[in-house]
Amino acid sequence: MASPELQALVAMLRSSPVVASGSLEDGRKGLDAMSAMFPPPADVRFEAGVASGVVIERAIPPGADPERTLLYLHGGGYVMGSLTSHRQLAASVARAAGITTVSVAYRLAPEHPFPAAIEDATAVYRWLLAQGSQPGRIAILGDSAGGGLTVATLLALKAAGVPLPGAAVCLSPWVDLECTGASMASRAAVDPMLSRGMLLGMAAAYLAGADPKSPLASPLHGDLAGLPPLLIQVGTAETLHDDAVRLHARALAAAVDVTLEPWEDMIHVWHAFPMLPEAQRAVARIGEFVRAHLGVRAG
């Protein structure tokens, strides 16, 4: 049963949507402004940087294992989201995993359409390797569009012959830009955040005429064989629920070590709302997964 905190949050989101019907710029500002309601953990230190021309931000928790890294790809439908909007989530996951998170400020559409986001994500991953990071000691994590970008990044790296990371995590991933999952309709009445129409508009801005079935745009259509262990978390009250279910099925068919965790009554990327007890448990679970697969040393 949903916690009282979740029930209150859903009521708030229905009365004041995070992404309103205004301009894209208003949506970007609104998403960043919402982050002020949820500051990051006070004991996490942040460092700004640039990696191969891409702006990044490190979130460094106390006692972080210096030899392991979590590459974080934020959500926002490829058209919004930033280091600011997702700083709390990136920092919370860093603490849970006991390692530094490197968040990527990848270029956004429509100014920079597909495949700009993939180019930036892969550039930062290659930069980590060039800095001496071992691939098996890196994990990639993304939420929403960032979850799809996580899988697309893995596919792009595999195609280029670049050693893959030790693990990956997808939170409420968007992996089908045609939005054909049955939950687009079956969960429409219970999802307070995303609709099929909204997602299709974001997809059009990102694709700019590219084929939505391209595996790097919609990694549901990609060859997932050889990908690293994968954790997928999704709420049952999401229009994107079936993206996660179908990604899990495709990964299983490709013999990937994949775990699907459907969280009852959870909304899209509930992890980003730290007052939710369900968010705290989900983030702790992510930390356990990353620690186990990267061999993180206790701080």
**pLDDT single digits (tens) 150-175:** 999 999 999 999 999 999 999 999 99
Residue 124 lies in a domain: yes
Please tell me the predicted confidence (pLDDT) of residue 222: 98
Is 144 in the active site?
yes
Q: Which of 144, 172, 183, 218 is catalytic?
A: 144
The set of residues, in sequence order, having a beta carbon less than 8 Å from that of 21 and lying 6+ positions away, is: none
Tell me how far the alpha carbon of residue 142 is from its chain's centroid: 2
Is 74 in the active site?
no
Please tell me the predicted confidence (pLDDT) of residue 60: 98
Please tell me the predicted confidence (pLDDT) of residue 36: 87
Residue 39 lies in a domain: yes
Residue 164 lies in a domain: yes
Is 268 in the active site?
yes
pLDDT below 50 — which residues of the chain? none
CATH number at residue 232: 3.40.50.1820
Please tell me the predicted confidence (pLDDT) of residue 179: 98
Query: Residue 247 is encoded by which pair of tokens?
Result: 């990604």
Please tell me the predicted confidence (pLDDT) of residue 20: 54
Domain that holds residue 48: 4-294
CA–CA distance, 103 with 154 (Å, rounded to integer): 16
CA atoms within a 13 Å half-sphere pointing along the CA-CB vector of 14: 12
Residue 299 lies in a domain: no
Please tell me the predicted confidence (pLDDT) of residue 21: 58
Please tell me the predicted confidence (pLDDT) of residue 22: 74
Please tell me the predicted confidence (pLDDT) of residue 297: 78
Q: Which of 74, 241, 268, 271 is catalytic?
A: 268
Residue 273 lies in a domain: yes
Please tell me the predicted confidence (pLDDT) of residue 249: 98
Q: Which of 238, 241, 278, 293 is catalytic?
A: 238
Residue 25 lies in a domain: yes
Domain count along the chain: 1
Give the strands of the sheet with 99-104, arranged side by side: 45-51, 54-60, 99-104, 65-73, 138-143, 167-171, 230-235, 258-263
